[in-house]
Amino acid sequence: MIEHDAPDVRELDALLESVAQNRDRTAFKTLFDHFAPRLKGFVMRQGSDPHFAEEVVQETMVNVWRKARQFDSARASAATWIYTIARNMRIDLLRKINRPEPDMDDPALVPDPAPAAPENISKAQEAARLRAILSELPDEQQEVLRLAFFEEKPHGDVAAELGIPLGTVKSRIRLAVKRIRTEFGEDE
């Protein structure tokens, strides 16, 4: 499934940074070519028709251009950042609400502690590792995560769809999250 000329995670970050700093339209066009078909596929897998999926793609990509300066490759990879924009755009278009979010510029926000040690892996490297971890999770854990993200279902509905007890869905989610947390060396 890998395209030969598809940019890798770090190149995608660099393209997005160039959009932010230089308002680089060529870089933006490359990002569009890479992400727009995936965004459309993602939203269609969430159960939307192709027309609505293209509406989400259009609004998401316009916001990628507008908000590019907020992108910080130390916080998220380009795919993750674009995922969050598409998620919020879909909520906005479908439910007509702004997703409540913390405001990183709010003086009342409790700031992140200074990192104990300098971070030695980039978010782009982390993204690659995360994809490997996800593919190694037991099928049943992958399934609940996939249903949660692709069908945008609350975990209670995931339990109903799979015909399994709510407690089982919760424990699968917890095991998957724990695996990810352990992999990134975070203590409990």
Partner 1 sequence: MSIHHHPSDELLLDYATGALGEAWSLAVATHLALCPHCRAAHARLDAVGGAFLAGTSPEVVSGTVLDNVMALLDEDEIELPATPAASAEARGIPILPNPLRRFLGGDLAAVPWRRLGMGASQYVIPLSDHGATARLLRIPAGKPVPEHTHNGLEVTLVLRGAFADATGSYGPGDLQEADETLEHQPHAADGEDCICLAVTDAPLRFKSMAARLVQPLLGI
Closest distance between partner 1 and the C-beta of residue 153, in Å? 6
Distance between first and last Cα of the chain: 37
Cβ pair 80, 15 in contact under 8 A: no
CB nearer to partner 1: pick between 105 and 163:
105
Q: How many residues bind to partner 1 according to rule CB under 8 A?
A: 82
Contact status: 177 vs partner 1 (CB under 8 A): yes
- Do 23 and 42 touch, CB atoms closer than 8 A? no
H helical segments located in 48-98: 50-67, 78-95
* Of the residues 52, 149, 164, 179, which one makes contact with partner 1 according to CB under 8 A: 149
Minimum CB distance to partner 1, residue 130 (Å): 5
Local structure of 148: helix, strand or coil: helix
User: Per-residue x/- marks for partner 1, 75-114, CB under 8 A?
Assistant: xxx-xxxxxx-xxx-xx---xxx-xxxxx-xxxxxxxxx-
Mask 2-41, x = binds partner 1 (CB under 8 A)? -------x-------------x-x--xx--x--xxxxxxx
Q: Among 13, 42, 48, 73, indicate the residue that binds partner 1 (CB under 8 A).
A: 42
Rounded to a whole number of angstroms, the minimum distance from the CB of residue 63 to partner 1 is 10
Angle (deg, nearest 10), helices 9-22 and 123-136: 140
Q: Does 52 bind partner 1 (CB under 8 A)?
A: no
Q: How far apart are CA 89 and CA 78, in angstroms?
A: 16
Give the three-class secondary structure for 28: helix
Q: Are 38 and 6 within 8 A, CB to CB?
A: no
Residue 96 Cβ vs partner 1, minimum distance, rounded to whole Å = 6
